[in-house]
Amino acid sequence: MENMSCALLTDDQYFLLYLIMGVYFGPHLKEGRLHKSALQRHAEGCAEYQPNDLAGSHIKTVVMESVYYYILRKAEPSLVLKQDLLLQYIHGSLPISVQCSGIYLQFDDLFPSKLHPRSQFKNQQETIDDIVFINNPETDYIKAGDIERFKRLTGLEDFLLDRESAMQHVFVDSRVLHNVKVQETTSKPHDTIQHDTYPDGNEPSNCTMPFSCSPVNASPLSYDSPVPAQMTGSYSENLDQGIIFLPSCPSKEEWANLVATVKCGFALTGSAARGHVGPVLGLMDIGESEDSYLFRVSLPGVRRDERDFSCEVESDGTVIIKGVTVTGEITVEKYSQAFVMQSQNLCPPGPFSISFKLPGPVDPQEFHGTFATDGILEGIALKARRRRS
C-alpha cells in the first residue's frame, strides 16, 4: 500500500498525461481516413472501430515517451513523470486516485488492448499496434479552460509540434540529453520530412550511385595549376586536369612540397584517402538489423531548411530525397565581403534528387531520422510486418 500511495500522481500530472496521450495519439485506421486523436473521437461520439478497420502498423513505446518528454521540456520538473511511472501508465498498471478515476481516462480506455496489442522485438523494443502520432491535432473540442491550463503548465504557445523533433527527443529517465532537429515546424502537410536512421541492404556497395541521378564518372578534380617559371613555349598553357602517380610513398617533406606547388591544391591522407574518388553527394551506406533498416547518405553543402529539403519513405522501401545544394558558387558573399572562388571542386549549386530502395518493405509511420550539421542524413525505418487477417 505504501508503494501504491507514493505512485499516486498530482492532479496536474494526471491532466498532462491524459491530455498528451489522448490528444497527440489516435488509432491508425486504413488509408483514406482522417487521423483523429483518441479524445477527439471520444468527444465526437465516433463509432467504435473494428480490427479490420486498422492499418496494421505499429509504434514504438519509446516514441510515445519521446513525445511526452518533448512536450514537457519547458514544464516544471515536478510535473514530469519519471520514466518508470510513464511506462506503468502505458502498460495500464499505474494506480490512479479515486478523485481522478472519473475524470481522466486510462491508457487502456483510450486504446483498448484487444485492438492495440503490445509486442516486443528480439532487441527488446516494445511496440503497440495501430497507434499513430498526430503532431498537429484538432483542438476545437477541448474546453478553453483546459487549453489555457495546458499552455500554462507546458510553457507552449499552441498544440502544434515539430514532428521529427518530438519523435527524436532524447532522454534518460525524463532528463533530456539532446534534441536533434530534422526540420522546422510547418503547417504544410506535404512538407513533412520523413527520415530514418538505420536500415539497408544486402550489398551496400551496390547503393553508392543514386538511382535517380545522372551517372557521373569519377574523373580527377580539375585544378588551375601554375607552371614553373622555367617552363616556356607550348608547355606554359594550363592543363584542364591531371593526376600525379607516385611510384613510391613520399616523405612528409616531399608530400608537403608537392601540395605547395599546386595553387588551391589539397592533400588527403589516412582514412580520407581510402574513400571513393569522385562526387561525394549521394554516397550512402545501408545496413539491416532484426527489425529495421538503416541508411546514411552523404549530403555535403545541402541546405537543411525544411522549405528546400525533403526525405520521404514509401511502404515498398523506396526512399526519395530532394534538396538544393548551396556550394560551388563562383562568388561567395560573407560578412559584407565578396570572395571570388579560385576553384569550384564542390558540388555546383542547384536542385537535386536522390532515390534508392531498401531491401524490403517498411512502415512509413515508423521512420525517424536526423540531418545533422555534418552533412550526413541518417535514417532508421522499421520493417513492415504482415497485416493481421
DSSP symbols for 136-169: S---TTS-HHHHHHHHHHH--SSS---HHHHHTE
Predicted pLDDT of residue 20: 96
Interval 329-357 mean pLDDT: 82
Give mean pLDDT, residues 317-345.
Answer: 83
What is the C-alpha to C-alpha distance for residues 104 and 19, in angstroms, rounded to an integer? Answer: 9
- pLDDT at res. 275: 52
Quote the CA–CA distance of 284 and 259 in Å, as a whole number: 29
d(CA 23, CA 38): 7
Please compute the mean of the pLDDT values over residues 377-386 and round it to a whole number.
87
For the record, the C-alpha cell of 276 comes out as 571513393
Q: Which of 49-58, 337-346, 360-369 has the lowest mean pLDDT?
A: 337-346
Task: Identify the residue with better confidence: 38 or 331.
Answer: 38
Distances, alpha carbon 302 to alpha carbons 99, 180, 339, 350, in Å: 54, 17, 20, 9
What is the distance between the alpha carbons of residues 78 and 68, in angstroms, rounded to a whole number?
A: 14
Residue 262 binned pLDDT confidence (cut-offs 50, 70, 90):
low
Query: What are residue 79's phi and psi, to 5 degrees?
Result: -90, -15
Residue 207, C-beta contacts closer than 8 angstroms, at least 6 positions apart: 200, 201, 284, 285, 286, 356
Q: Which of helix, strand or coil describes residue 89?
A: helix
Nearest to 181 by CA among 376, 374, 389, 369: 369
Task: Please state the rounded mean pLDDT for residues 318-329.
Answer: 87
Q: What pLDDT was estimated at residue 68?
A: 94
DSSP letter for each residue of 206-238: GGSS-TTSPP---PPPP--PPPPTT--GGGGSP
The residues pairing with 129 across neighbouring beta strands, listed in sequence order, are 58
pLDDT at 51 over 80: yes
Does the pLDDT at position 330 exceed 70? yes
Check residue 147 and give its pLDDT: 96
3-state secondary structure of 318: strand
Q: Can you give the pLDDT at residue 348? A: 81
pLDDT score for 371? 87
Cell of 203: 550489398
Cell 500530472: give the residue.
13
Tell me the C-alpha distance between 384 and 366, whole Å: 9
Whether the predicted model's global pTM rises above the 0.75 cut: no
* Res 252 pLDDT > 90: no
Q: Which domains does the chain have, with CATH numbers?
A: 2-181 (no CATH), 204-214+278-383 (2.60.40.790), 233-274 (no CATH)
Residue 2: what pLDDT?
36
Q: What pLDDT score does 117 carry?
A: 92
Q: What is the pLDDT of residues 297-317, one digit of tens each?
A: 999 889 888 788 888 899 889
Question: How far apart are alpha carbons 277 and 44 in whole angstroms?
Answer: 60
Contacts of residue 271, defined as CB under 8 A and 6 or more positions apart, other chains included, come to none
Residue 140's pLDDT band, with cuts at 50, 70 and 90, is: very high
**Half-sphere exposure in the Cβ direction for 210 (13 Å, CA):** 21
The mean pLDDT of the chain is: 74
Cβ contact 376:197 at 8 Å: no
pLDDT of residue 128: 92
Q: Are 11 and 145 in contact (CB under 8 A)?
A: no
Looking at residues 191-201, what average pLDDT do you find?
A: 32
The Cα–Cα gap between 195 and 364 comes to 9
Rounded CA-CA distance 291/249 in Å is 46
Burial (CB < 10 A; 0-12, 13-18, 19+), residue 285, is middle
Between residues 6 and 161, the one the model is more confident about: 161
Q: C-alpha cell of 170?
A: 532524447
Q: Which of 286, 313, 303 is nearest to 193 (CA)?
A: 313
- Which set of grid coordinates corresponds to residue 257? 612540397
Distance CA 25, CA 19 (A): 10
